[in-house]
Amino acid sequence: MPSLRPFKRPAPNWPDYLARRAAEARDPRLAEFFAAGQLDPEMPIGEAPLVALDMETTGLDERRHAIVSIGLMPFSLGRIRLAERRYWVVRPPRPLVRQSVAFHRITDSEIEHAPDLDDILDELLAALAGRLAVVHYRHIERPFLDAAVQARRGEGLRFPMIDTMSLEARIHRQSLWARFRRWMGRPPVSIRLHNSRERYGLPPYQGHHALVDALATAELLQAQIAARHQPSTPIGQLWS
Amino acid sequence: MDIELLEIREHLARFAPFDALSDAQLDDLVGTIEVAYFKAGSEILALGEQIEDLHYIRSGAVEISWRNGELFNRLSEGDIFGHFSLLRNRKVRFPAKALEDTLIYFIPGERFHQLCEADEHFAEFVELGQPRLKSVVEEQHKSNDMMMTRVRKLVSRRPLMVEESTSVQEVAQRMNEENVSSALVLSTREGDPRYQFSDPDGQSWTLQGIVTDQDLRNRVLAEGRSVSTAVAEIVSSRLISVQSDKSVHEAMLAMLRNNVHHLPVLYRRRPMGVLHLSDIIRYETHSSLYLVSNIFHQPDTLGLARLKPDVRQAFVRMVEEGASSHMVGSALSTIGRSFTRRLLELAEEALGPPPVPYCFMALGSMARNEQSIVTDQDNALILDDSFDPAQHDEYFAALAQHVSDGLDACGYTYCKGDVMATNRQWRQPLAVWKGYFSEWIDQPRPEHLLHSSIFFDLDSVHGEEAFVEQLQDLVASKASQSPLFLAAMARNALGRTPPLGVFRTFVMEKDGKQNNTINIKRRGTAPMVDLIRVHALACGSRAQNSFERLDDIAKTQLLPAGTGDKIRYAFEFLSMVRIRHQAIDLQEEREPDNNIAPGNVSDSERHHLKDAFQLLSNAQKFLKFRYPMPSRR
């Protein structure tokens, strides 16, 4: 868990960043992706094409660990469409650490026959293009994807993300009420995926499967917007 | 299928109508589902709106209303809605609102229609709004519902909730205004954590208990308390509640076990309604429970006679639900007794109060709690010893006639052997009865033995139970001391023997003759009952039911070890064969009887039948050996 700063960090200027990368990218697929990914920060969340993204990795450090699976669940505020789901198991360059195998329930043989991330990257980019990504805890998905693409295509991959954990932290960690609770010596409210979902009456799902977690994240965002925001809230206020 | 959707698939598979889909159908369905979240209070379906999907509640709770906004139904996890509109013109007929934070799975309309086409069960389930087919099989589905239908389906309105400081008068007024018979009492104090909940405004409450009409009568009026008494003072500390997702069956058991008529229904810890006994009875109109209460509400014999089809229906359903012969037998006996008792009440209303105390007693299968659907009446009257025939017999003759005619009208045909209270011989004072019983035991002549085998299964139905108990005591103490009587009864019990075997198309008799049918009562259950009765008389048992008699016999050394259990098993099996075949007769709209054609017996049943008959035959041989004729000196 990273230390969460009590002040609100200014969101990066994503439109400028994406425009610059679209112009500079050498890899044609990456260039296409960045060009398509230009979403207006003023767009209401209720109209935005969204995609929940989750990855399972062999560890927490993108320099030492690797991605083993990726789940995508395209959705809108109104509907999550299971029919459009995407899921890949990918072969990490390093042999799997046994402990993490148990964690993800992805077996050696599954990994053995899986493609390298590079082989599915174009498909992944196409599925992400034009949609705003939604993750729970962006500090895994963003650096791992960035590092993995950097290693394969010589340039990184970063894009705006709505982080449902940050949205939860804004309420339960950074609000006046949250600081008051801390001052009272109450334990902080858990903002992990499962606990966050529970607060909105969402059912428990079996965790640690990239696609199930992507579905769980999509549902959580729908609930957070219904409870705390409006369909008219501009995406620029939600992404980070 | 993709393993990642197992989560969703498994959930669907737990609930009807999806539980009946094939794996392939489910796999196919799951991939097409769409999901959305609805915050508590938000609208899911608006009246008149176009509907595209079947709605499935993954979690949460949903309220469905009529057009006029009145509550129509309340649904939760695993329930579906929207199908009525989808099946018609795709315009929302019943608006839906999220009662709790709710996650909905949408099944595309196209898939829904495909499933209706492809799967009969599915179509049947979603079309249940239409009138039910009147078939017995359908009735069977309905009875299974009782095990599966959740309590929340029976809750039609929110509970009346009052704070504990409210005066009993105000509570009564509000109950009157809202036309309810109970109110839930809440407190802001911390109490039993199982009953703590918070309302939509975030206020936390503890459910303290329930106050009913009866409490207002018994604890306020009867005890002379002031109308300003706080309701907290009269709330009992014992709170029996039920979770909204429990089955109707479980709710019924909770009521019976705790002897309460009101059950607060909780969704997790929040009260969502109160279930009253009448809600269950209304729901389960064909259960034997309802039947019995219905019997006591009939104003005349005609009304009682009209219940005959209901009795048959209750019987078939019990069999379908897998009831044992003991359960079926005692339920039917209870029903038979209720008919008799109601007829006696009606007779007393017509004839006036009885001039001397009496006991109306049941004999034979009703006394043993082993009644079947094919049965005649065996009854008698024990009158008080102050009975004077010249003065009183007219009354009791009329009473007996009324009951006997009524029972006949209700399907309990007149006894061919005239063992009925209408027969003057069987309408006598207690002293005369004692004389009869002693004589039969002391002088076991054939005629007396026949009487013994009928009258020594006896139980009271109405009136002075003590009269019957005295006779039961007499039999229990005297018969066991009379070896001659026991030996004669044992001989008498050998009159009816089982066939040698049952083959695919015929019954093989001991003399090599072949028959087309077998009377399972005469050749199986009745000789078994006779045999058990002899051992029961020998050990002084006061039990009337054959299984209970076997329990008493097991405490003695009368039977070789293990034999009692074998007899029990064989008796249960023979009884069930009889009961099952009668249920099949009813289902196929034939008049049920005791005859079984071997062709209608399954292979495994035939095999067991042969074993059971063999066991009966052996047990009969043992009887002769166990109770030999004492040598006369």
CATH number at residue B542: 1.20.120.330
pLDDT at residue B501 above 60? yes
What torsion do the CA atoms of B581, B586, B587, B589 make, to the nearest 10 degrees?
130
Judged by CB atoms within 8 Å, which residues 84-143 of A form the interface with B? 85, 87
pLDDT: which is higher, B455 or B586: B455
Final residue of a structural domain among B256, B283, B310: B283
Q: Which of B2, B60, B103 sits opposite A87 (nearest CB)?
A: B2
Whether B290 is in a domain gets the answer no
What is the pLDDT, as a whole number, of residue B387?
A: 94
Max CA distance (Å), chain A: 55
Final residue of a structural domain among B130, B164, B199: B130
Q: Which pairs count as long-range contacts for B310-313, CB under 8 Å and 24+ apart, including other chains? A: B310/B286, B311/B335, B311/B373, B311/B411, B312/B373, B312/B586, B313/B136, B313/B139, B313/B286
Q: How far is B74 from chain A (nearest CA, A)?
A: 17
Q: How far is A218 from chain B (nearest CA, A)?
A: 9
Q: Does A206 touch chain B (CB under 8 A)?
A: yes
CA B89 to each of CA B82, B94, B207, B627: distance values in angstroms, whole numbers, following the listed order: 11, 13, 44, 78
- Interchain CB distance below 8 Å, B35 and A78: no
User: What confidence category does residue B259 fall into, taking pLDDT thresholds of 50, 70 and 90?
Assistant: confident
pLDDT at residue B422 above 70? yes
- Interchain CB distance below 8 Å, A82 and B2: no
pLDDT at residue B128 above 60? no
Q: Number of H helices and number of E strands within chain B? A: 24, 24
Coil vs helix vs strand at A6:
coil
Q: How far is B563 from chain A (nearest CA, A)?
A: 54
Average pLDDT over residues B43-67: 89
User: What confidence category does residue B440 fall into, taking pLDDT thresholds of 50, 70 and 90?
Assistant: very high
What is the pLDDT, as a whole number, of residue A3?
A: 43
Q: Does A201 touch chain B (CB under 8 A)?
A: yes
Q: Which of A73-82, A106-115, A152-161, B432-441 has the lowest mean pLDDT?
A: A106-115
B170 shares its domain with B279: yes
What is the pLDDT, as a whole number, of residue A10?
A: 55
- Interchain CB distance below 8 Å, B101 and A223: yes
Contact list, A209 vs chain B (CB under 8 Å): 3-4
pLDDT at residue B69 above 90? no
Q: Does A222 touch chain B (CB under 8 A)?
A: yes
B363 shares its domain with B442: yes
Final residue of a structural domain among B439, B471, B503: B471
Average pLDDT over residues B153-174: 90
- Interchain CB distance below 8 Å, A219 and B37: yes
DSSP B360-392: EEEETTTTTT---SS-B--EEEEE-TT--HHHH
The domain of B526 spans 492-626
pLDDT at residue A183 above 70? no
What is the pLDDT, as a whole number, of residue B298?
A: 86
What is the pLDDT, as a whole number, of residue A96?
A: 55
CA distance A18 to B127: 54
CA distance B134 to B474: 50
Percent of chain B with pLDDT over 90: 46
pLDDT in tens, B549-585: 999 999 998 998 888 888 998 898 899 889 988 988 8
ipTM: 0.82
- Interchain CB distance below 8 Å, B35 and A223: no
- Interchain CB distance below 8 Å, A219 and B35: yes
**Chain B residue set in contact with A, beta carbons under 8 Å:** 2-8, 30-40, 42, 58-60, 100-103, 106
Q: Which of B79, B82, B138 is nearest to B103 (CA)?
A: B79
B182 shares its domain with B273: yes
Average pLDDT over residues B408-416: 93
Average pLDDT over residues A192-219: 88
What is the pLDDT, as a whole number, of residue B351?
A: 94
- Interchain CB distance below 8 Å, B58 and A218: no
Whether B560 is in a domain gets the answer yes
B221 shares its domain with B257: yes
Contact list, A201 vs chain B (CB under 8 Å): 40, 59-60, 100-103
Written as six digits, the tokens of A62 are 């993108």
- Interchain CB distance below 8 Å, B7 and A223: no
What is the pLDDT, as a whole number, of residue B326?
A: 81
- Interchain CB distance below 8 Å, B4 and A71: yes
pLDDT: which is higher, B403 or A140: B403
pLDDT in tens, B287-296: 566 677 778 8
For chain A, the residue count is 240
Q: Which of B127-136, B258-267, B342-351, B582-591 has the lowest mean pLDDT?
A: B127-136
Average pLDDT over residues B304-316: 87
B336 shares its domain with B464: yes
Find the helix packing angle between B526-538 and B483-492, rounded to 10°.
Answer: 170
- Interchain CB distance below 8 Å, A82 and B106: no
> B414 with B376: CB under 8 angstroms?
yes
Task: Select the residue from B2, B4, B34 to test the A interface by mutation, using most A Cβ atoms within 10 A.
Answer: B4
| Shortest CA distance from A71: residue in chain B | B4
Q: Which of B152-166, B337-351, B366-380, B520-534 has the lowest mean pLDDT?
A: B152-166
Whether B487 is in a domain gets the answer no
What is the pLDDT, as a whole number, of residue B142?
A: 43
Q: How far is B36 from chain A (nearest CA, A)?
A: 5
pLDDT at residue B306 above 60? yes
CA distance A71 to A90: 11
Q: Does A218 touch chain B (CB under 8 A)?
A: yes
B108 shares its domain with B173: no
Contact list, A219 vs chain B (CB under 8 Å): 35, 37, 103
What is the pLDDT, as a whole number, of residue B145?
A: 54
pLDDT: which is higher, A39 or B38: B38
Whether B292 is in a domain gets the answer no
Q: Which of A16-25, B37-46, B299-308, B605-614 has the lowest mean pLDDT?
A: B605-614
> B616 with B532: CB under 8 angstroms?
no
DSSP state of A173: T
pLDDT at residue A85 above 80? yes
B347 shares its domain with B249: no
Where exactly are the structural domains of chain A?
Answer: 14-163+231-237
- Name the pairing type of β-strands B34-38 and B61-65: unpaired
What is the pLDDT, as a whole number, of residue A195?
A: 86
Residue B355, amino acid: P
B496 shares its domain with B462: no
Q: Which of B3, B36, B100 sits opposite A80 (nearest CB)?
A: B36
CA distance B105 to B8: 9
DSSP B332-360: HHHHHHHHHHHHHHHHHHHH-S-SS-EEE
Q: Does A204 touch chain B (CB under 8 A)?
A: no
Q: How high does pLDDT run on average in chain B?
A: 85
Written as six digits, the tokens of A228 are 């705390």
For chain B, the residue count is 633
Average pLDDT over residues B304-324: 82
User: What confidence category does residue B151 fall into, taking pLDDT thresholds of 50, 70 and 90?
Assistant: confident
pLDDT in tens, A22-55: 888 899 999 989 988 678 899 999 999 999 999 9
Q: Which of B4, B40, B102 sits opposite A87 (nearest CB)?
A: B4
Q: Does A212 touch chain B (CB under 8 A)?
A: yes
Q: How far is B584 from chain A (nearest CA, A)?
A: 45
Q: Count structural domains, chain B.
A: 4
Size of interface A-B (CB pairs under 8 A): 69
Q: What is the 3-state secondary structure (H, E, C) of B482-545?
A: CHHHHHHHHHHCCCCCCCCEECCCCEECCCCCEECCEEHHHHHHHHHHHHHHHHHHHCCCCCCC
CATH topology of domain A14-163+231-237: Nucleotidyltransferase; domain 5 (3.30.420)
pLDDT at residue A97 above 90? no
pLDDT: which is higher, A7 or A55: A55
pTM of this structure: 0.47
Q: Which of A24, A34, A8 is nearest to A160 (CA)?
A: A34
User: How many CB atoms sit inside 10 A of residue B229's CB?
Assistant: 16
| Shortest CA distance from A216: residue in chain B | B35
> B112 with B54: CB under 8 angstroms?
yes
Whether B299 is in a domain gets the answer no
- Interchain CB distance below 8 Å, A226 and B42: yes
pLDDT: which is higher, B136 or B229: B229
What is the pLDDT, as a whole number, of residue B253?
A: 72
List beta partners, residue B55.
B81, B106
Q: Which of A149-158, B232-241, B521-530 has the lowest mean pLDDT?
A: B232-241
